[in-house]
């Protein structure tokens, strides 16, 4: 098994405060499996994408339509490392988010907030040789959901990362510092308290572009790759 | 050794179907590939209801049992479930892959399931019911009692194999801790 003695950082699957877990979380304990080639390898970089390579503007969610989206322009960047601290290059990073009014262009999103014809809210890139990624977007709005009375999701970006092995695959959410909605959000609060700050980006003045866009930093740590020397 | 704390997982949520599916996502191999077939299944919740907002991803060796995939074999598939909880991936049966102790494993795929209501993905393996000898010798399958073991066996169909994913309850699929 690769399961370590490190403190659990991931949320439990069964978390009744988030009502959708009640009928979907497995009821039986997960079964240990020896670290092997199948789970210890994975699709890497451009080979994963085949005939649909990352385009030059895929990282810029503000330039995918004829006009500019409404909202507060932001830069979101960071470094992807493995648990041994090594940068993870050539990893596909996918993001998606609501628009600045808190609305997704998704048929099931019924929040009566405006759609933005200039914003789809979907981006992707590959990490560079130092494991870095960078997106340009607009700050997403908070939005209501029906989990509990007067429930609102804090503003967030969804992140999907492949790393370099099946074991490293991660889908998570990035939040913004100081959001007053954190306390009532069962999705963020399902994460053990000591690990929660890792999901909250930090405002980054050094990467903020004067008279153009605020920057937020969100560094990401993936699990180990058992077949790469020195991996944690 | 100093290790960094991993970034916690969060649910994929309900609103990803405009973002994550790829046009060729379900096609691990192109149409007409020798040995190609459809692996089809449903995702069901603890009440037996279809899960219409799940995302399935697969990863596997090529027909020779190789990873790293010389020759352009992607090895990866991605398919969202439809309103009936159905998903499908067109692929080939992987060759035998040695286990950690060097013993051969039966042909298998690794599968991730993401969905609203899953705060972390769940991970399983697809084995093939028409490989009884290899399955009997497989170290992972051998460690599972019945009926749990049977939940990992894909049965033959007209155009390939079928693999049901039951997230919870009777006949719950075996999920692995990585």
Q: Please, where are the H alpha helices in A25-150?
A: 37-40, 46-49
Question: CA A102 → CA A81, A119, A131, B18, B166, distances in Å?
Answer: 30, 12, 30, 16, 33
Q: Could you tell me the pLDDT band of residue A3, with boundaries at 50, 70 and 90?
A: very low
Contact A221 B45 (CB under 8 A): no
Question: So what's the pLDDT on residue A5?
Answer: 56
Pairing label, strands B54-59, B108-115:
antiparallel
| Stretch (H or E) spanning B144 | none
Mean predicted confidence (pLDDT) in B57-69: 90
> Across all residues in chain A, what is the average pLDDT?
93
Query: Are the C-beta atoms of A48 and A160 separated by less than 8 Å?
Result: no
Chain B residues within 8 A of A22 when measuring between CB atoms = 46, 117
Query: Are the C-beta atoms of A71 and B141 separated by less than 8 Å?
Result: no
The closest alpha carbon to A221, from A45, A76, A85, A77, belongs to A85
Q: Is residue A189 left, alpha or beta, with left meaning phi > 0 and alpha meaning psi from -120 to 50?
A: alpha
Question: So what's the pLDDT on residue A225?
Answer: 76
Mutate to test the interface with B, among A53, A165, A166, A217 (most CBs of B within 10 A): A166
Q: Which residue of B has its CA nearest to A47?
A: B74
Instruction: Report how far residue A96's alpha carbon sits from residue A92's, in angstroms, rounded to the nearest whole number.
Output: 13
Q: A114-164 pLDDT, tens per residue? A: 999 999 999 999 999 999 999 999 999 999 999 999 999 999 999 999 999
Mutate to test the interface with A, among B1, B12, B19 (most CBs of A within 10 A): B19
The gap from C-alpha B9 to its chain's centroid, in whole angstroms, comes to: 19
Question: So what's the pLDDT on residue B10?
Answer: 98
A15 touching chain B per CB within 8 A: yes
Task: Give the CA-trace dihedral at B1, B5, B9, B10, to 10 degrees.
Answer: 180
> Across all residues in chain B, what is the average pLDDT?
94
Contact A108 B15 (CB under 8 A): yes
Phi, psi of A201 (to 5 degrees): -65, 165
Q: Which of A73, A158, A196, A217 is catalytic?
A: A158
Q: B4-36 pLDDT, tens per residue? A: 999 999 999 999 999 999 999 999 999 999 999
pTM attached to this predicted model: 0.96
Q: Which of A18, A133, A143, A175 is catalytic?
A: A143
Q: Which residue of B has its CA nearest to A44?
A: B68
Instruction: Report how far residue A174's alpha carbon sits from residue A168's, in angstroms, rounded to the nearest whole number.
Output: 17
Q: B152-166 pLDDT, tens per residue? A: 999 999 999 999 999
Question: So what's the pLDDT on residue B31?
Answer: 93
Q: Specify the DSSP class assigned to residue A115.
A: -
């Amino acid at each position: 098994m690769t399961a370590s003695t490190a403190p659990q950082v991931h949320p439990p699957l069964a978390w009744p405060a988030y009502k959708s877990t009640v009928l979907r979380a497995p009821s039986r304990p997960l079964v240990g499996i020896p670290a092997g080639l199948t789970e210890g390898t994975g699709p890497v970089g451009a080979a994963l994408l085949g005939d649909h390579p990352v385009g030059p503007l895929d990282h810029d969610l503000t330039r995918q339509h004829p006009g500019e989206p409404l909202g507060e322009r932001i830069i979101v960047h960071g470094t992807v490392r493995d648990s041994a601290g090594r940068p993870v290059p050539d990893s596909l990073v996918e993001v998606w988010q609501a628009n600045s009014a808190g609305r997704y262009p998704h048929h099931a999103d019924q929040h009566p907030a405006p759609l933005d014809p200039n914003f789809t809210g979907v981006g992707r890139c590959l990490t560079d040789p130092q494991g870095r990624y960078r997106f340009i977007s607009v700050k997403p709005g908070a939005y209501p959901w029906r989990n509990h009375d007067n429930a609102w999701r804090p503003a967030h970006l969804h992140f999907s990362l492949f790393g370099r092995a099946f074991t490293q695959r991660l889908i998570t959410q990035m939040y913004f510092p100081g959001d007053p909605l954190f306390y009532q959000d069962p999705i963020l609060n399902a994460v053990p308290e000591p690990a929660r700050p890792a999901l909250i980006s930090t405002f980054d003045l050094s990467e903020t572009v004067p008279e153009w866009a605020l920057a937020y930093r969100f560094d990401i740590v993936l699990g180990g790759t058992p077949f790469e020397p020195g991996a944690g | 050794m100093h290790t960094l704390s991993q970034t916690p997982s969060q649910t994929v949520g309900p609103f990803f179907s405009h973002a994550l599916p790829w046009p060729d996502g379900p096609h691990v191999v192109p149409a007409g590939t020798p040995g190609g077939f459809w692996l089809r299944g449903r995702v069901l919740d603890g009440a037996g209801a279809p899960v219409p907002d799940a995302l399935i991803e697969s990863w596997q060796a090529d027909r020779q049992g190789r990873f790293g995939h010389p020759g352009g074999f992607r090895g990866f598939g991605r398919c969202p479930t439809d309103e009936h909880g159905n998903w499908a991936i067109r692929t080939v049966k992987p060759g035998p892959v040695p286990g950690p102790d060097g013993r051969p494993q039966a042909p298998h795929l690794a599968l991730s399931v993401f969905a609203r209501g899953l705060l972390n993905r769940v991970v399983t393996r697809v084995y093939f019911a028409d490989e009884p000898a290899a399955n009997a010798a497989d170290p992972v399958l051998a460690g599972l009692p019945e009926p749990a073991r049977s939940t990992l066996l894909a049965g033959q169909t007209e155009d390939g194999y079928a693999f049901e994913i039951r997230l919870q309850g009777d006949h719950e699929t075996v999920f692995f801790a990585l």
